[in-house]
Amino acid sequence: MNTKYLEELIEYLLMIDSRTEMENFLRGLLTEKELEELPQRVQIVKMLKKGTPQRAIAEELGIGVGTVTRGSTEIKKGRFRSV
């Protein structure tokens, strides 16, 4: 991964100051599938933090347990503190 490009993306995201502008940015940047998957991943994290079992999350969201496990692994790495 090119960290320079990631840093640039982060800077662009931080400059966005309205909900409408953020939505337009994301809709222009991501495919419809990606726009479905990103919010779903946030829901995975929220549910994991509430103590919902991984299999229940997978079933409720209609996704594989592996996707939920990835979210759990990232939480253990200290990510998603703001979620």
Closest to 79 in 3D by CA, of 52, 53, 32, 41? 41
Closest to 71 in 3D by CA, of 54, 51, 50? 54
Confidence at residue 56, expressed as pLDDT on a 0 to 100 scale:
98
Question: Given a cut of 80, is residue 1 above it in pLDDT?
Answer: no
Average pLDDT over residues 15-42: 96
78, two tokens: 């200290």
Locus of tokens 């726009």: 35
Long-range contacts of 22-30 (CB under 8 A, 24+ apart): none
Per residue in 50-69, pLDDT (tens digit) is 999 999 999 999 999 999 99
Mean pLDDT of the chain: 96
